[in-house]
Amino acid sequence: MKKCGKFPRFGIFAKTFVYTTVFLIIVVGVAFAMFYQQITAFYATQQLQRLQRDYSLLYEQFLTADRLEMLDTARQFADVNRTFVFRIMDSEQNTVFSTFEQDNFQNFRVLFVNMGGYTLAAQDSLPQTESNLLNTVILTVFLVIVIALASTAIFAKQMTFPIKNLVKDTKKMVQLLPIKPPPPRNDEIGDLSQDVHNMYNKLKSTIIMLENENQRRREMEESQNYFFSAASHELKTPIAATSLLLEGMLANIGDYSNHPKYLQECIRLMDTQTSIIYEILDIVKLNEKYNPQPTKIDINRLVSEEIAKHDIQAEISVKISENLFCRTDLFLLKKAFSNIFMNAVQNTPPTGKIEIFSQVGAAKIRLSVRNTGEISEEHLAHIFEPFYMVDKARSRRQNKMGKTGLGLTIVKKSLDILGVRFGLENTAEGCLFWVDLPVMP
């Protein structure tokens, strides 16, 4: 048992047991005391009435008899009823007749008086009966107390067991350990245990949600730091190149004196920078709390409009079911599909092939874009990161073609906001991108 200062700390079981036991002993003691008095008084009355009935015949004969007749009648009555013990007293309480030879007349009760100046008294067995009754009462009280103690122990255990279990569970809850659900009970203790466990589960879920949110924020901050670092590097390159070109033209050094040629190069570099800035702004907007507005979208029309924007040298194949509609945000889907298709066009050689096809399920439409080519497995895990370069030399060539390295990042941001499944993987026919869109009900 734990100590609390100088005094022992009693648990709830000990307290419940002691309090209930004291209360039961007091109630049992008071009840038996009251019942004992009532039973004793009742028995005394019944005993007096019984004695009066037993001696009523003798009393009636005494009323009309003189002293000699009374004594003779008493002897005859005593001879017939040898178990009866009585005596007759005169007005001065002297014994004139007695069936008891000794002078000890204890436990005699007066039954009849005024029998011509004489009094009839008979021996009463009440004191002995009271003693036996008292012994019986004491034994009964002892047995009742023993039974009460056993019942109290069982009651205290039944009452305190779930509370002690709840205390153990709360200690585990402090450490956020797994807790078994409480056994069902149809009482207040059961309700308390269930409420505590429900509160703990909600609190634990909230803590996990907050931890996940903090982790997400940390990842977002790391992603933003990486993004801005990469963006700064990508923006610095065309600015530095433009500055060198302008300095060379101002100094008329060598071929730099051909101003029209290098002004065109400066304009191209500025266009590249402008494209990067616009795509950075798109990503910043997507990072904000954008509220998607689901609407009915004709997938055939979406694909046709996007194809018409590009001068495609590779072979293209479109296999999409007629009258195929999905329900999602048009702005985000167009932005995602535009970047995916543009990425396929830019990375497919003129002799390659681009395929756009759909697969319709019960609750979703899988829209896929597959192009000739392959991405190594080591790059697939990072392909959606901003400014990620699979091939640095190739990336420099792509920058000259107007590629910024942010297209797939915008795709991921858009589809994450829509909350749809998507993926990029290698297949035997080429590189495949797919996205699952909700079917229009």
Give the residue, 413 or 239, on which the prediction is more confident.
Answer: 413
Q: Which two tokens stand for residue 285?
A: 């907007």
Model's pTM, two decimal places?
A: 0.46
* Range in 53-57, 286-290, 362-366 the model is least confident about: 286-290
Question: Is pLDDT of 210 > 50?
Answer: yes
What CATH fold (topology level) applies to the domain 181-288? Helix Hairpins (1.10.287)
Residue whose C-alpha is closest to residue 229's, from 28, 386, 77, 23? 386
Residue 229 corresponds to which amino acid? Answer: S
At residue 194 the predicted structure's pLDDT band, cuts being 50, 70 and 90, is confident
| Per-residue model confidence (pLDDT) at position 130 | 60
Question: Is pLDDT of 104 > 60?
Answer: no
- What is the CATH number that goes with domain 292-441? 3.30.565.10
Give the residue, 295 or 135, on which the prediction is more confident.
Answer: 295
Give the residue, 339 or 387, on which the prediction is more confident.
Answer: 339
3-state per-residue secondary structure call for 298-319: EHHHHHHHHHHCCCCCCEEEEE
Question: Is pLDDT of 145 > 70?
Answer: yes
Rounded to a whole number of angstroms, the CA Rg of the chain reads: 55
* pLDDT, mean of residues 272-300: 75
**Strand, coil or helix: 422:** strand
Identity of the highest mean pLDDT range in 36-45, 86-95, 164-173, 359-368: 359-368
Identity of the highest mean pLDDT range in 148-152, 382-386, 422-426: 422-426
Tell the burial category of 411 from Cβ atoms under 10 Å away from its Cβ (0-12, 13-18, 19+): buried
| Per-residue model confidence (pLDDT) at position 174 | 81
Q: Give the residue extent of every domain in the chain.
A: 181-288, 292-441
Could you report the per-residue pLDDT of 351-381, keeping only the tens digit for each? 899 999 999 888 899 999 999 988 888 777 7
Could you report the per-residue pLDDT of 397-416, keeping only the tens digit for each? 444 444 556 778 888 888 88
